[in-house]
Each structure stands twice: as structure tokens, then as C-alpha cells.
Structure 1
């Protein structure tokens, strides 16, 4: 069977090859961040996890000593441009290239819509939205000079549809991330076509994920019921449900995927 001129068996065999790739994960000390780090390390990548808490970062790194890859901790604040610029410089100094940025840092605060405190709303928007914008900008400029790079943002089904249980601030922040992802991908695709670089920027949008942070919801029959009612597969997500998509969007398999919000939601947004 004839293939296009750009086809090669080597490309097909290495679609998901992450060996020696340099992957930076913000919020790398959380449940998802640690799972991403272990997955990439198991595939031989050099992983840099970053957050404001050095103790928990070191714990994650120590837990990955049995993998083929490497993991290094770096304290930074995603809402501080100087901090993120220093992160880019340090990773480049050590490895000479950066392949992937995973914007995993974020937070939530729930309160009834009519009672959502302005200061809490602004704080959520700062961490989730500005804390995605600044890393995208700083790593994006680096990727432009390097010629290529991949960015995976973290959205949520809450950016698409509302839900009970006080998600006003969180939902607004994730909707902003959706459109930030689309806008940046469009601008940089057009600019890159002219200037000779390629940046793929996409977002994953999970439903409720079982973790220590969501334990109070998952174990409360009354609070979990509205979630399950909107999940055709009849269960909330597990950490393992997220890692495959993140790996794909970070690899050569996603070279023509750009500006997409990919729902990992058990069918929640399908009907």
C-alpha cells in the first residue's frame, strides 16, 4: 500500500517514544503530577517537577529512583514570571533542550454561586489562569527559538458545563484555560508557519478524579450522586485514566493535533 512521502516505519515505531525527552511538569507534587512523572520516567524521560513545596517534590523524586528515567525537583511559582523564566533557564542549562511543558498546577475552592467571595474568585483565577498563561508564554518563547515544543494544559469538564456544589470560580477558570489554549494555538500555528517553528498546545479536560483531594466527595453518597448521574460509564475517573492522553499529547503521535480540548470524562459531555 502506498504511503505519503513523509511516511516512515521508524516514525510509526517511535510514535510514543519519550526516551531522553525533557518534560517539565508544574504541580508535580500532586496526585496527577506524580503519576505523570512516574509514567514519563518509566519511558526513559528526564522529568522536572516543579511546585512551591520543595519537601513534597523531593518525596516524589525519591519515589522514582527505580525507573529508567530521571526526576529532578525545582521550586517555582507559576504566578511569578521571574520564577518561571528562571525555571526555563535552569532546565535549558542542564539539558540543552526542553520538549514538553505540562501545566498541571491548579486549585479549587467551592462555595455557593451567590456567596463566592471575590478574593477567593480572584485567587482561583490567578493560580489557574495566570498560572497557565505565564508558563505558556515563557516556555512558548523558548520553543519558538528551539523550533518546536509541546504544551499540555489542564482544563476540566467544568469549563464546558455547569454542575452543583459551588464550582463558580473553578468553572470560570477552566473555561478561560480552554479559550487560552485555542487562542495561543491559533496564533502560534500561524506565526510558526511563517517563522519555521511548531508548537502544539492542547488541553485535557477530565471529570472528577478519585484522589485524596476529592475523597470527601467520592465517599459522600449525596455529593457523588450528581456526578455519577452524568457519567454514562457509571464511575469517576482514576489517575490511570489520565496518563495515556497526556503521554500521547506529549509525543510525536500528536504532531497534527493542535488547539484541542480533549475530554477524559467517561462520556459526561457526550449527552
Structure 2
């Protein structure tokens, strides 16, 4: 029986791959046989990740990129295409967290969150989309959030900027999926709940996470390492050939209530 989740021969680009979920996503794709391209601002961390991925028996290309800079994005995408000749899969993962009361949110804080989590996702998808349209094939996976769908009560922490950005990712996913559906490209999103990473370290270390997940999550816990991999590989593989414009929440039931 053919393994529909096999990614051998595919090239996958993962943004924000210097730490956290980006590293996990890159490794998960590599374990299914894909050759990997990773990018982030912190190029010194990328080199360590590159070695870890190559140890899995696939190729890995690392390139510096700042998703707040469209020239940097264009340069990175061209470098990946020049290196591999194509880009089959994009994991649009680069993002930043923020939790500031709306009335105290400074202009630069709002712009940083929207710029990274929404504008950057679009600009990377736009440039990679040009490559995929040319080749007639592509699988784009945007990383949204449970906050693409729900927010918090005032008893938890404020997420106005973050939720605005991630809500935009949800609708952007639908819009791009519709535009590119007849060009051989699927565009879907994953909506994680809280997973421990560099970005979420503060809320985990502060001890508030247990109380929040107990109150909001039917499973009563945060996500564990590897629990996003199934959704990722489904959207990256031909198993999802007739699935586009969707966001799959991997949240322990959080958005069900």
C-alpha cells in the first residue's frame, strides 16, 4: 500500500525555524523524507538546527530572513529556489507573542505583532506562492492559533494584538486557498493551543498555565511535544489533496466550548 504521508523528493521551507515549534516542524517533515530549508533572523541558531536535521538523513539549507522585511523575504525565497530548484511545502511559522492590556498597548508593540504574525505570513506566502504557481504544485501550511477563533476572559491574560493577527491568518488562509485552488496549491492552517516553547516560556514558567488550561481546556493541559506533527504531515502530504482553506485546531478541545 502506498504511504500517502511520504514526503520523499519534496522540498519544505519552514520559517521561524531557529527554535520552538519551527524546529519541531522541520524535524517532523524531515522524518517523512522531505529535504528542508529553514530560515529565521538568528542565523547562528539555524546552523545548529541544520546539523540536527541533516542527522536525520535529508538535506538542509539554512538562510537568514526577517519576515518584517519584504526584501529579505524575496531574497530568501530566491535563494531556496536556486538551491533546490523548487519549493513544494511552506510552513509559515514565524511569529511573536504578546500579552499587554489593550489600553496599554504601544504603537510599536501592536505593529510588531501584526507585522510579524499577519503581514509576514502573507508576504512569505505571496513570494513562495509565485514559485508554486510556476511549478503547478504547492502545500502551504500557515500557523494560526486557538486565538484565530477564541480569546480569553478578563480573568486570564489579554491577547488583543495577537488574536487580531491570528484571526487574520485564518481568513487569509481561506482567501489564498480560494485564489490558488486551481493552480495546484492547497492552503490550510493549524491552530495550536499552548505548547511550551521559547515564545511561551514566560507563561509556563510563571505557573499561570496550569490554572488557565484547567479553566479553558477540556483536556486540562497544554500541548505536548509532537502533538502538532500529525496535522502538519497531513496538510503537507498528498493525503490532503482535496482539503484546502481549512484551519485544524489542535487544542485539547479548547475551541469546542
**TM-score of the two chains, using structure 2 as the length reference:** 0.94
Aligned partners of 1:40 and 1:69 also within 8 Å: no
* In structure 2, C-alpha distance between the alignment counterparts of 1:214 and 1:87, rounded to whole Å: 27
- CA gap of 1:102–1:223, structure 2 versus 1, over 3 A, is closer
Whether 1:205 and 2:194 are equivalent positions in the alignment is no
**1:223, distance to aligned residue in structure 2 (A):** 4.9
Q: How many residues align?
A: 254
Alignment correspondent of 2:67: 78
Aligned partners of 2:5 and 2:32 also within 8 Å: no
- Identify the range of structure 1 (215-224 vs 52-61) with the bigger mean alpha-carbon deviation: 215-224
Whether 1:237 and 2:223 are equivalent positions in the alignment is yes
* In structure 2, C-alpha distance between the alignment counterparts of 1:224 and 1:200, rounded to whole Å: 36
**TM-score of the two chains, using structure 1 as the length reference:** 0.89
Q: SS of the residue aligned with 1:50? A: strand
Q: Is there any run of 5+ residues in structure 1 with no aligned partner, and where?
A: 1-8
Q: Which of 192, 201, 211 lines up with 1:215 in the alignment? A: 201
Q: Which of 176, 181, 189 lines up with 1:184 in the alignment? A: 176
- CA gap of 1:180–1:62, structure 2 versus 1, over 3 A, is same
Alignment correspondent of 1:128: 117
Q: SS of the residue aligned with 1:228? A: helix
Structure of larger gyration radius: 1
Whether 1:18 and 2:7 are equivalent positions in the alignment is yes
Q: Which of 165, 168, 183 lines up with 1:173 in the alignment? A: 165
**1:221, distance to aligned residue in structure 2 (A):** 4.0
**1:141, distance to aligned residue in structure 2 (A):** 1.4
Q: Which of 213, 229, 236 lines up with 1:227 in the alignment? A: 213
Q: Is there any run of 5+ residues in structure 2 with no aligned partner, and where?
A: none
CA RMSD, aligned part only?
1.5
- CA gap of 1:226–1:131, structure 2 versus 1, over 3 A, is same
**1:203, distance to aligned residue in structure 2 (A):** 0.6
Whether 1:58 and 2:50 are equivalent positions in the alignment is no
Runs of 4+ in structure 1 displaced over 6 angstroms?
none
Q: Which of 114, 127, 140 lines up with 1:151 in the alignment? A: 140
Whether 1:258 and 2:244 are equivalent positions in the alignment is yes
